[in-house]
């Protein structure tokens, strides 16, 4: 599948992969800081943004999409930065194109299975939007508020609502969300440098996840950003950038 992407700058390539319900713009605050010294590539995963839609939504297929683009762009010595779902896609990429990847950064995600309840309210609200065929932002906001979604979550989702329709494939994501929460440990541990950035107020990386991280990524470093939730890169951009630059220089 040919993914939509944005390419900027020159130098060693850094590939940015967004999370579920997002798009390539979600990591703009990181990519624009690096494009003066690196080639930055931001992608829309399948069923997101301007990339094609598919009934298949598993890590293997998503990773193969990214690998296809990497080969198309002749990317080598690649640094991959993935947030949430994008981090899990990055994990899978270590199994299919390890030789082309130099370093990996996972933002607030661990190589573990997550409960499907983590986005239960969002899934319920989106299902309601589809069922009611809502195409007016004001109606969507009102309905999502009734479902108990925070204003921050609503505004994030609406970044992917254009011209009366969702840019992500809500139907397939809802149907296959359990697959996105699942995880099978890597068949081959990835021994190259890996950085895990953990939001201090987020439940996505906990102390209990550390053994799974180090088992699959033996040379991992974990950095904690206090006072940040799951979208740590957006909430504490300056601190995340400082961590990234410091680690990449090692």
- The DSSP bridge partners found for residue 104 are 80, 194
Span 204-233, pLDDT tens digits: 999 999 999 999 999 999 999 999 999 999
The per-residue pLDDT for 86 is 98
The per-residue pLDDT for 250 is 83
- Is residue 124 domain-shared with residue 87, that is, in the same domain? no
How many domains is the chain partitioned into structurally? 2
Are 233 and 30 a contacting pair, CB within 8 Å? yes
Q: 33: domain range?
A: 5-114+184-248
- Is residue 40 domain-shared with residue 110, that is, in the same domain? yes
- Is residue 207 domain-shared with residue 89, that is, in the same domain? yes
The per-residue pLDDT for 117 is 78
- Is residue 105 domain-shared with residue 190, that is, in the same domain? yes
**Coil, helix or strand at residue 60:** helix
**Crossing angle for the helix pair 151-158 and 137-146, nearest 10 degrees?**
140
- Is residue 224 domain-shared with residue 210, that is, in the same domain? yes
- Is residue 24 domain-shared with residue 95, that is, in the same domain? yes
d(Cα 205, Cα 90) in Å, to the nearest integer? 16
Judged on CB neighbours under 10 Å (0-12, 13-18, 19+), 163 is exposed
The per-residue pLDDT for 61 is 96
Cα distances (angstroms) measured from residue 63 to each of 5, 18, 118, 129? 15, 13, 23, 29
Span 61-114, pLDDT tens digits: 999 999 999 999 999 999 999 999 999 999 999 999 999 999 999 999 999 999
- Is residue 41 domain-shared with residue 110, that is, in the same domain? yes
d(Cα 3, Cα 109) in Å, to the nearest integer? 23
Q: What is the pTM of this model?
A: 0.97
Domain boundary among 175, 192, 222: 175
Domain boundary among 154, 175, 196: 175
- Is residue 15 domain-shared with residue 85, that is, in the same domain? yes
d(Cα 142, Cα 121) in Å, to the nearest integer? 14
The residue behind tokens 């053994």 is 211
Residues above pLDDT 90, as percent of the chain: 98
- Is residue 14 domain-shared with residue 65, that is, in the same domain? yes
Span 109-121, pLDDT tens digits: 999 999 887 799 9
Domain boundary among 145, 175, 205: 175
Are 125 and 144 a contacting pair, CB within 8 Å? yes
The per-residue pLDDT for 199 is 98
- Is residue 226 domain-shared with residue 107, that is, in the same domain? yes
Catalytic positions are 84, 230
């Amino acid at each position: 599948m040919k993914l939509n992407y944005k390419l900027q700058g020159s130098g060693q390539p850094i590939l940015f992969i967004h999370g579920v319900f997002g798009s390539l713009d979600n990591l703009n605050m990181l990519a624009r800081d690096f494009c003066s010294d690196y080639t930055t590539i931001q992608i829309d995963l399948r069923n997101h943004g301007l990339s094609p839609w598919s009934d298949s939504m598993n890590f293997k297929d998503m990773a193969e999409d990214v690998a296809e683009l990497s080969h198309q762009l002749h990317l080598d010595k690649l640094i991959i930065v993935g947030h949430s779902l994008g981090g899990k896609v990055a994990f899978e990429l270590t199994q299919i194109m390890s030789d082309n990847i130099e370093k990996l950064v996972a933002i607030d995600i661990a190589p573990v299975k997550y409960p499907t309840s983590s986005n239960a309210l969002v899934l319920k609200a989106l299902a309601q939007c589809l069922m009611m065929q809502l195409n007016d932002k004001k109606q969507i906001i009102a309905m999502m508020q009734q479902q108990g979604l925070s204003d921050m979550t609503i505004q994030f989702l609406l970044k992917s609502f254009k011209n009366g329709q969702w840019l992500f494939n809500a139907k397939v994501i809802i149907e296959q969300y359990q697959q996105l929460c699942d995880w099978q440990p890597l068949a081959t541990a990835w021994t190259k440098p890996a950085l895990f950035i953990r939001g201090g107020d987020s439940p996505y990386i906990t102390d209990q996840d550390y053994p799974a991280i180090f088992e699959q990524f033996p040379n991992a470093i974990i950095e904690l950003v206090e006072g940040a939730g799951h979208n740590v890169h957006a909430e504490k951009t300056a601190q995340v950038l400082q961590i990234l630059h410091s680690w990449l220089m090692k």
